Amino acid sequence: MDYVDFGQTGLKVSRLSTGTGTHGWNHRSEQTDLGIDGLANFLRAAYDLGINFWDSADQYGSHPHVAKALQDVPRNRVVITTKTTSRTAEEVTQDVERFLRELNTDILDIVLLHCMAKRDWPRQYRGAMEALSQAKEQGKVRAVGISCHNFDALCTAAETDWVEVVLARINFAGVNMDAEPSDVVPVIQRMYDSGKAVYGMKVLGCGELTQDVQKAIEYVFQLRAVHAITIGMKRRESLYENVRIVEEMASKYPLTARE
Protein backbone atom coordinates (compact mmCIF):
# COMPACT_ATOMS: atom_id res chain seq x y z
CA MET A 1 0.00 0.00 0.00
CA ASP A 2 1.28 3.45 -0.96
CA TYR A 3 1.55 6.03 1.86
CA VAL A 4 1.60 9.77 1.23
CA ASP A 5 2.06 12.95 3.22
CA PHE A 6 -1.46 14.10 4.04
CA GLY A 7 -1.25 17.71 2.96
CA GLN A 8 0.55 19.75 5.59
CA THR A 9 -0.89 17.89 8.58
CA GLY A 10 2.30 15.96 9.31
CA LEU A 11 0.33 12.70 8.97
CA LYS A 12 1.11 9.89 6.54
CA VAL A 13 -1.88 7.98 5.19
CA SER A 14 -2.59 5.06 2.90
CA ARG A 15 -4.24 6.00 -0.38
CA LEU A 16 -7.25 3.90 0.67
CA SER A 17 -9.20 4.64 3.84
CA THR A 18 -11.59 2.16 5.45
CA GLY A 19 -14.94 3.90 5.72
CA THR A 20 -17.40 3.12 8.50
CA GLY A 21 -20.33 5.24 7.37
CA THR A 22 -22.18 3.76 4.40
CA HIS A 23 -25.67 5.24 4.69
CA GLY A 24 -24.49 6.38 8.09
CA TRP A 25 -26.49 8.74 10.27
CA ASN A 26 -28.31 8.76 13.59
CA HIS A 27 -25.43 6.81 15.16
CA ARG A 28 -25.54 3.78 12.84
CA SER A 29 -24.30 2.67 9.43
CA GLU A 30 -24.09 -0.45 7.32
CA GLN A 31 -20.64 -1.05 8.79
CA THR A 32 -21.68 -0.67 12.43
CA ASP A 33 -24.52 -3.10 11.70
CA LEU A 34 -21.76 -5.72 11.54
CA GLY A 35 -21.48 -5.39 15.33
CA ILE A 36 -18.53 -4.24 17.40
CA ASP A 37 -16.51 -7.42 16.90
CA GLY A 38 -17.47 -7.71 13.23
CA LEU A 39 -16.37 -4.20 12.27
CA ALA A 40 -13.33 -4.28 14.57
CA ASN A 41 -12.17 -7.48 12.87
CA PHE A 42 -12.72 -5.87 9.48
CA LEU A 43 -10.64 -2.83 10.45
CA ARG A 44 -7.85 -5.08 11.66
CA ALA A 45 -7.98 -7.04 8.41
CA ALA A 46 -7.68 -3.78 6.48
CA TYR A 47 -4.71 -2.79 8.62
CA ASP A 48 -3.04 -6.12 7.88
CA LEU A 49 -3.36 -5.27 4.17
CA GLY A 50 -1.63 -1.92 4.70
CA ILE A 51 -4.57 0.43 5.27
CA ASN A 52 -3.58 2.77 8.10
CA PHE A 53 -6.39 5.30 7.56
CA TRP A 54 -9.77 4.72 9.24
CA ASP A 55 -12.71 7.06 8.70
CA SER A 56 -15.22 7.25 11.55
CA ALA A 57 -17.80 9.71 12.87
CA ASP A 58 -20.00 10.26 15.88
CA GLN A 59 -23.05 10.04 13.61
CA TYR A 60 -21.97 6.64 12.32
CA GLY A 61 -21.81 5.29 15.87
CA SER A 62 -18.47 3.68 14.99
CA HIS A 63 -16.27 4.87 17.88
CA PRO A 64 -16.72 1.67 19.97
CA HIS A 65 -15.83 -0.44 16.94
CA VAL A 66 -12.67 1.58 16.26
CA ALA A 67 -11.70 1.42 19.94
CA LYS A 68 -12.08 -2.36 19.86
CA ALA A 69 -9.87 -2.62 16.79
CA LEU A 70 -7.22 -0.48 18.49
CA GLN A 71 -6.82 -3.14 21.17
CA ASP A 72 -4.85 -5.18 18.63
CA VAL A 73 -3.31 -2.42 16.48
CA PRO A 74 -0.55 -0.01 17.60
CA ARG A 75 -2.19 3.38 18.07
CA ASN A 76 0.70 5.25 16.46
CA ARG A 77 0.40 3.13 13.31
CA VAL A 78 -3.09 4.28 12.30
CA VAL A 79 -4.64 7.63 11.40
CA ILE A 80 -8.23 8.03 12.54
CA THR A 81 -10.70 10.65 11.37
CA THR A 82 -13.82 11.44 13.34
CA LYS A 83 -16.47 14.10 12.85
CA THR A 84 -18.73 16.26 14.96
CA THR A 85 -22.15 17.65 14.09
CA SER A 86 -21.97 20.11 16.99
CA ARG A 87 -21.98 23.77 16.00
CA THR A 88 -21.07 25.72 19.14
CA ALA A 89 -17.78 26.05 20.98
CA GLU A 90 -19.14 24.46 24.15
CA GLU A 91 -20.65 21.48 22.33
CA VAL A 92 -17.53 20.87 20.25
CA THR A 93 -15.31 21.01 23.34
CA GLN A 94 -17.56 18.46 25.03
CA ASP A 95 -17.46 16.29 21.91
CA VAL A 96 -13.66 16.27 21.80
CA GLU A 97 -13.51 15.03 25.38
CA ARG A 98 -16.17 12.41 24.71
CA PHE A 99 -14.50 11.24 21.51
CA LEU A 100 -11.21 10.77 23.36
CA ARG A 101 -12.98 8.55 25.90
CA GLU A 102 -15.00 6.61 23.34
CA LEU A 103 -11.98 5.92 21.15
CA ASN A 104 -9.81 5.26 24.22
CA THR A 105 -7.00 7.43 22.89
CA ASP A 106 -4.92 10.35 24.12
CA ILE A 107 -5.21 12.27 20.85
CA LEU A 108 -7.60 12.53 17.92
CA ASP A 109 -5.74 12.56 14.62
CA ILE A 110 -8.35 14.43 12.57
CA VAL A 111 -11.63 16.03 13.63
CA LEU A 112 -13.94 17.41 10.96
CA LEU A 113 -16.98 19.61 11.25
CA HIS A 114 -19.46 17.21 9.72
CA CYS A 115 -21.71 17.98 6.76
CA MET A 116 -21.00 21.62 5.94
CA ALA A 117 -23.76 22.80 3.59
CA LYS A 118 -23.67 26.61 3.58
CA ARG A 119 -21.38 29.11 1.92
CA ASP A 120 -20.88 31.16 5.07
CA TRP A 121 -20.15 28.24 7.41
CA PRO A 122 -16.99 29.91 8.82
CA ARG A 123 -19.06 32.85 10.03
CA GLN A 124 -21.90 30.74 11.38
CA TYR A 125 -19.67 28.22 13.14
CA ARG A 126 -16.78 30.40 14.23
CA GLY A 127 -17.11 29.17 17.80
CA ALA A 128 -16.91 25.53 16.74
CA MET A 129 -13.79 26.27 14.69
CA GLU A 130 -12.16 28.08 17.61
CA ALA A 131 -12.93 25.16 19.93
CA LEU A 132 -11.20 22.72 17.57
CA SER A 133 -8.24 25.09 17.24
CA GLN A 134 -7.98 25.24 21.01
CA ALA A 135 -8.12 21.45 21.25
CA LYS A 136 -5.30 21.31 18.73
CA GLU A 137 -3.23 23.77 20.78
CA GLN A 138 -3.84 21.58 23.83
CA GLY A 139 -2.50 18.52 22.02
CA LYS A 140 -5.87 16.76 21.91
CA VAL A 141 -6.29 17.02 18.11
CA ARG A 142 -3.69 16.88 15.36
CA ALA A 143 -5.59 18.33 12.37
CA VAL A 144 -8.96 19.96 11.71
CA GLY A 145 -11.24 20.51 8.77
CA ILE A 146 -14.66 19.81 7.30
CA SER A 147 -16.70 17.30 5.34
CA CYS A 148 -18.57 19.00 2.49
CA HIS A 149 -22.14 18.45 1.31
CA ASN A 150 -22.64 21.60 -0.73
CA PHE A 151 -20.68 23.16 -3.59
CA ASP A 152 -20.67 26.67 -2.09
CA ALA A 153 -19.37 25.23 1.19
CA LEU A 154 -16.65 23.41 -0.74
CA CYS A 155 -15.59 26.63 -2.48
CA THR A 156 -15.43 28.40 0.88
CA ALA A 157 -13.29 25.61 2.31
CA ALA A 158 -10.80 26.10 -0.51
CA GLU A 159 -10.33 29.72 0.52
CA THR A 160 -10.34 29.23 4.30
CA ASP A 161 -6.90 29.01 5.90
CA TRP A 162 -8.28 27.28 9.02
CA VAL A 163 -9.14 24.19 6.97
CA GLU A 164 -6.37 21.59 6.95
CA VAL A 165 -8.38 18.55 5.84
CA VAL A 166 -11.32 18.31 3.45
CA LEU A 167 -13.53 15.30 2.83
CA ALA A 168 -15.10 15.95 -0.58
CA ARG A 169 -17.60 14.07 -2.71
CA ILE A 170 -16.08 13.07 -6.04
CA ASN A 171 -16.81 10.50 -8.76
CA PHE A 172 -16.79 10.39 -12.55
CA ALA A 173 -20.59 10.38 -12.91
CA GLY A 174 -21.55 13.21 -10.55
CA VAL A 175 -23.68 10.83 -8.47
CA ASN A 176 -24.46 12.18 -4.98
CA MET A 177 -21.99 15.01 -5.50
CA ASP A 178 -22.17 18.70 -4.66
CA ALA A 179 -21.97 19.70 -8.33
CA GLU A 180 -20.83 18.29 -11.65
CA PRO A 181 -17.28 16.89 -11.69
CA SER A 182 -16.26 19.64 -14.10
CA ASP A 183 -17.08 22.19 -11.39
CA VAL A 184 -15.79 20.24 -8.39
CA VAL A 185 -12.42 19.15 -9.79
CA PRO A 186 -10.94 22.67 -10.15
CA VAL A 187 -11.87 23.41 -6.51
CA ILE A 188 -10.21 20.22 -5.34
CA GLN A 189 -7.15 21.13 -7.38
CA ARG A 190 -6.96 24.55 -5.67
CA MET A 191 -7.17 22.87 -2.28
CA TYR A 192 -4.43 20.43 -3.15
CA ASP A 193 -2.19 23.15 -4.58
CA SER A 194 -2.60 25.23 -1.42
CA GLY A 195 -1.40 22.34 0.77
CA LYS A 196 -4.72 21.16 2.14
CA ALA A 197 -5.21 17.44 2.71
CA VAL A 198 -7.98 16.17 0.43
CA TYR A 199 -9.66 12.82 0.55
CA GLY A 200 -12.61 11.69 -1.51
CA MET A 201 -15.90 10.08 -0.58
CA LYS A 202 -18.77 8.80 -2.74
CA VAL A 203 -16.15 7.50 -5.16
CA LEU A 204 -18.52 4.63 -5.95
CA GLY A 205 -21.58 6.89 -5.87
CA CYS A 206 -23.18 5.25 -2.82
CA GLY A 207 -23.03 1.92 -4.62
CA GLU A 208 -24.40 3.12 -7.96
CA LEU A 209 -21.01 2.83 -9.69
CA THR A 210 -20.00 -0.61 -8.47
CA GLN A 211 -20.52 -2.08 -11.94
CA ASP A 212 -17.01 -0.82 -12.75
CA VAL A 213 -15.07 -0.21 -9.55
CA GLN A 214 -11.75 0.09 -11.33
CA LYS A 215 -13.05 2.85 -13.60
CA ALA A 216 -14.44 4.73 -10.59
CA ILE A 217 -11.22 4.54 -8.59
CA GLU A 218 -9.03 5.29 -11.59
CA TYR A 219 -11.01 8.46 -12.32
CA VAL A 220 -10.17 9.91 -8.90
CA PHE A 221 -6.54 8.83 -8.93
CA GLN A 222 -5.88 10.26 -12.39
CA LEU A 223 -6.76 13.69 -11.02
CA ARG A 224 -3.47 13.48 -9.07
CA ALA A 225 -4.89 15.91 -6.52
CA VAL A 226 -6.71 13.63 -4.06
CA HIS A 227 -4.49 12.18 -1.36
CA ALA A 228 -6.77 9.28 -0.47
CA ILE A 229 -10.24 7.86 -0.96
CA THR A 230 -12.54 6.40 1.66
CA ILE A 231 -14.76 3.48 0.75
CA GLY A 232 -17.25 1.83 3.04
CA MET A 233 -16.80 -1.93 2.76
CA LYS A 234 -18.40 -4.90 4.48
CA ARG A 235 -17.11 -7.95 2.64
CA ARG A 236 -13.54 -9.23 2.64
CA GLU A 237 -13.76 -9.83 -1.11
CA SER A 238 -14.45 -6.13 -1.70
CA LEU A 239 -11.62 -5.19 0.64
CA TYR A 240 -9.08 -7.34 -1.21
CA GLU A 241 -10.24 -6.12 -4.62
CA ASN A 242 -10.21 -2.45 -3.64
CA VAL A 243 -6.73 -2.76 -2.15
CA ARG A 244 -5.52 -4.36 -5.39
CA ILE A 245 -7.03 -1.60 -7.53
CA VAL A 246 -5.78 1.22 -5.31
CA GLU A 247 -2.25 -0.18 -5.28
CA GLU A 248 -2.33 -0.36 -9.08
CA MET A 249 -3.75 3.15 -9.50
CA ALA A 250 -1.37 4.70 -6.96
CA SER A 251 1.55 3.32 -8.94
CA LYS A 252 0.07 4.45 -12.26
CA TYR A 253 -0.99 7.93 -11.08
CA PRO A 254 1.35 9.26 -8.35
CA LEU A 255 0.35 12.53 -6.77
CA THR A 256 1.42 15.68 -8.54
CA ALA A 257 4.24 17.53 -6.79
CA ARG A 258 3.03 20.88 -5.49
CA GLU A 259 4.80 23.94 -6.86
pLDDT digits (tens, 9 = 90+) for 21-31: 999 999 999 99
* 98 in a structural domain: yes
**Which CATH number covers residue 139?**
3.20.20.100
Tell the burial category of 105 from Cβ atoms under 10 Å away from its Cβ (0-12, 13-18, 19+): middle
* 258 in a structural domain: no
* 105 in a structural domain: yes
Query: pLDDT at position 258, please?
Result: 66
Residue stretches of the chain with pLDDT short of 70? 258-259
Tell the burial category of 77 from Cβ atoms under 10 Å away from its Cβ (0-12, 13-18, 19+): exposed
Query: pLDDT at position 1, please?
Result: 85
Number of helices and strands (H, E) in the chain? 9, 10
pLDDT digits (tens, 9 = 90+) for 204-239: 999 999 999 999 999 999 999 999 999 999 999 999
Closest CA to 20 of 32, 38, 35: 32
* 174 in a structural domain: yes
Q: Which structural domain, as residue segments, surrounds residue 212?
A: 3-252
* 149 in a structural domain: yes
* 66 in a structural domain: yes
Number of domains composing the chain: 1
* 259 in a structural domain: no
* 78 in a structural domain: yes
Residue 204 and residue 196: Cα distance in Å, rounded? Answer: 23
pLDDT digits (tens, 9 = 90+) for 183-206: 999 999 999 999 999 999 999 999
